[in-house]
């Protein structure tokens, strides 16, 4: 079953990328008590993710936070070291990287995709959402190959 607006975020272990190294976090704890703009990419360093998705959230981070968002987070089926390196190369301190190395989070959300045709295996679909105190209040899932509704601009229009 795919997560829907009004649903609680499933409780799984993610790995937060920090300057001190990887830090395990429970998703239920991470999303509790704050408003989070979350976006998911199929993979760090992949073309659309690096050219458009992450840069859009970097460029719009102050506008998104000005609309009442406490934190902006990015998740991908990558390890925390890759997520940290990608954020250093193309991101900003305004983006929290949440590694979902085993795809546990996207599986629990019901938002996986099969990237095996490209040698990627199980990945997360491209999406964005607003999570308010652990509950999904906006959900934007892209059609395969598209980049429209998960963009920072679209999410900003929903705030």
Active-site residue, 49 included = yes
Q: Which domain holds residue 51?
A: 13-158
- 129 belongs to a structural domain: yes
Is a pLDDT exceeding 80 seen at residue 117? no
Whether 1 maps to a domain, the answer reads no
Domain contains 8: no
Residue 92 has pLDDT above 70, yes or no: yes
Q: How far apart are CA 132 and CA 110, in angstroms?
A: 19
Whether 101 is covered by a domain: the verdict is yes
Task: Report yes or no on 151 lying in a domain.
Answer: yes
pLDDT at 36: 98
> What's the per-residue H, E or C state across the chain?
CCCCCCCECCCCEEEEEECCEEEEEEHHHHHCCCEEEEEECCCCCCHHHHHHHHHHHHHHHHHHHHCCCCEEEEEECCCHHHHHHHHHHHCCCCEEEEECCCCHHHHHHCCEEECHHHCCCEEECCEEEEEECCEEEEEEECCCCCCCCCCHHHHHHHC
What integer pLDDT is reported at residue 119 of this predicted model?
A: 63
Confidence at residue 81, expressed as pLDDT on a 0 to 100 scale: 93
From 14, 36, 41, 49, the catalytic residue: 49
Whether 7 maps to a domain, the answer reads no
pLDDT band at residue 121 using 50, 70 and 90 as cut-offs: low
Say how many domains are in the chain. Answer: 1
- Bridge partner residues of 129 (DSSP): 38, 139
Task: Kindly report, residue by residue over 130-143, the tens digit of the pLDDT.
Answer: 999 999 999 999 99
Q: Indicate whether 36 belongs to any domain.
A: yes
CATH for 96: 3.40.30.10
Report whether pLDDT(43) > 80.
Answer: yes
For residue 30, tell me if it sits in a domain. yes
pTM listed for this prediction:
0.93
């Amino acid at each position: 079953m795919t997560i829907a607006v009004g649903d609680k975020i499933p409780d799984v272990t993610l790995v937060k990328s920090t300057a001190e190294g990887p830090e395990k976090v429970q998703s239920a704890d991470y999303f509790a008590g704050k408003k989070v703009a979350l976006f998911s990419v199929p993979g760090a360093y992949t073309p659309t993710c690096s050219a458009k998705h992450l840069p859009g959230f970097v460029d719009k981070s102050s506008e998104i936070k000005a609309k009442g968002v406490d934190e902006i987070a990015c998740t991908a089926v990558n390890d925390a070291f890759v997520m940290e390196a990608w954020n250093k190369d193309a991101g900003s301190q305004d983006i929290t990287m949440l590694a979902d190395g085993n795809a546990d989070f996207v599986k629990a959300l019901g938002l996986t995709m099969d990237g095996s045709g490209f040698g990627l295996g199980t990945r997360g679909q491209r999406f964005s959402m607003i999570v308010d105190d652990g509950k999904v209040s906006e959900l934007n899932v892209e059609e395969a190959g598209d980049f429209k509704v998960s963009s920072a601009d679209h999410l900003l229009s929903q705030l």
